[in-house]
Amino acid sequence: MPANTPVKFRLTSADVVHGFLLPDTNVNTMVVPGFVAEVRTSFAQPGEYEMPCHEFCGLGHHAMWARVSVVPKDQFAAQGPLERTRCAKQ
């Protein structure tokens, strides 16, 4: 994601209640099956932001986290669509 840019996350769960937290931002919400949670924020500084699940959701809870990679705006604009997703690099 580009730094200093408004971003929106739309979240839902296919199984149980999860928690969605972005440390150092205003984002902290529950993700409930059957509902779509929508949160907005921006990242002031480039970096790697961890997104841990903060609601005990089952046996795999301890390993349930993801990461958002925030880069400077000009670097983001120079990337192609496939470079913007980590999945495309694997």
For residues 72 and 2, the answer to whether their CB atoms sit within 8 Å is yes
Number of residues that bind Cu ion (CB under 5 A): 4
* Nearer of residues 30 and 71 to Cu ion, judged by Cβ: 30
**Among residues 39 and 55, whose Cβ is nearest to Cu ion?**
55
Between CA 74 and CA 24 the distance in angstroms is 23
Please, which residue, 21 or 39, has the CB nearer to Cu ion? Answer: 21
* Least Cβ distance, residue 38 to Cu ion (angstroms): 20
In the region spanning residues 24 to 83, those forming contacts with Cu ion, defined by CB under 5 A, are 53, 57, 61, 64
In sequence order, the 6+-apart residues with CB closer than 8 A to the CB of 74 are none
Write out the residues near Cu ion by the rule CB under 5 A. 53, 57, 61, 64
